[in-house]
Chains A and B, each alone.
Chain A
Amino acid sequence: MVKTILPLEISNASVRRRGKTLVGPVDLILAEKGFTTVIGPNGAGKTTLLRMMHGIERLSQGTVTWHGPNAEVRGRQAFVFQSPIMMRRSVRDNLTYPLTLGKTPKTEARQQAEDWAERINLKSALNRKATVLSGGERQKLAIARALIRKPDILFLDEPCSHLDGRATREIEELLQGAHEKGIRIIMSTHDMGQAKRLASEVVFILKGRIHEFSPADAFFDTPGTNEAKAFLSGDILE
């Protein structure tokens, strides 16, 4: 097993559907360490870009290259979708599901599920159906379910887009904790404050094209393009 599957190299990659280019062409290299946020207005292509990186969106051209054997790379990534997918099972069984796919023994899986439930304050809900949880609880559960397999890379697609302040803070703490443990995080958001709080680097995407890729401080202090300036000052971008 290789130590890390990073860096991620994307070269000349695009996604076209029905003759329309959704994203690309993209050239990007994500380094071994960091907390990347992908920002841009609605419909800019954030979701599509993350899915391309994760390898669940068919490329129309170009390549997305991870550093390691193909069979292994997906297993070392996890993805939290914009509207979290709750399996029609109990909270416990949602948490153990990724582990049962591997060779983790049942008791071990249950123990880890309980630890994670404790960490996200859902211990009392372990036996409840996941589909009856609130939006914030769902999002936390989805993140815990993603982290339980101890991925090297965690993708999150606008994890706080429908949440209130308290739920957002809980999730940000969760992500910071994961980042401190060395997990590489790539997250899309349209919340500038959140990007400032968390990110070490920013990918700014507009109409499917990457307009800026720079360290977070530099991006927020001295944006390099007019589009980024306009976006940061709150103008509506087409």
Chain B
Amino acid sequence: MIRTVFLTACMMLMSPNALWAENIKLAVTTSFHNSGLSEVLLPAIKDDLELTVQLLVVGTGQALRLGEAGDVDAILVHSRKAEEAFLSAGFGTHRREIMYNDFVFIGPVDDPANVGASETAVAALQKIAVARSPFVSRGDDSGTHKKERSLWQAASLETGEFGSWYRSAGAGMGASLNTASGMNAYIMADRASWLNFGNKGDLALLFSGDPVLFNQYAFLPVNPVLHPHVRNDLALKLEEWLIGDRARELINSYTVSGETLFIFNAGPND
């Protein structure tokens, strides 16, 4: 009896995925995963490279931490300053830009702060602040949150001094959108997450297109000198694929609700 239990436990412990030959662990941000693009790219990568990409969908902060600890082989994030700090601390080998998408301002359909008529992103935020309309911030130190803070800064506004209309959700993109939908509040989101979001309620896309809202994604292999066990060879193989023609075509032709989300712009190493 005890022996049977023990054997069963052993069998259960030996997970089947250990048998798959080539696996690469890639930490990506929630917003990238929510776009749905990975569901197009991953099968293609599997076909072309016989490589299974295991996605760890986390916030930017956690993605960087996973890379620092050597728990993943590469990261795909969109927060330039943090990426540069990551590189200069020696945690990654290099930074390769792959593509960009853009951030958009979402808000109540009736647009009480009249954000839709703004010329620039900064002007839009200033209107929200003047109207003191409810605004949901990610508040989780993610790439999106960092971007939002830099925009408030550019608008010469101090988020710490805002009243209760400025709500820090401390959550991922989806959860924050849920909050905004529940409160009928303004929020800044990446276009992909917004288009894929299933609980739009009375929210609508009100403002987009300012180049300052462009959101650059970059691929950073984890440094194998620091962590000899990481599969740098696979990371490089994957990178080569990501900047290739197949990836260009898949990324540029990926649409949600008829809208293009990403623009391929792979360039040289930084």
Query: In the complex, A touching B, CB below 8 Å?
Result: no
Q: Spell out A's residues near B (CB within 8 Å).
A: none
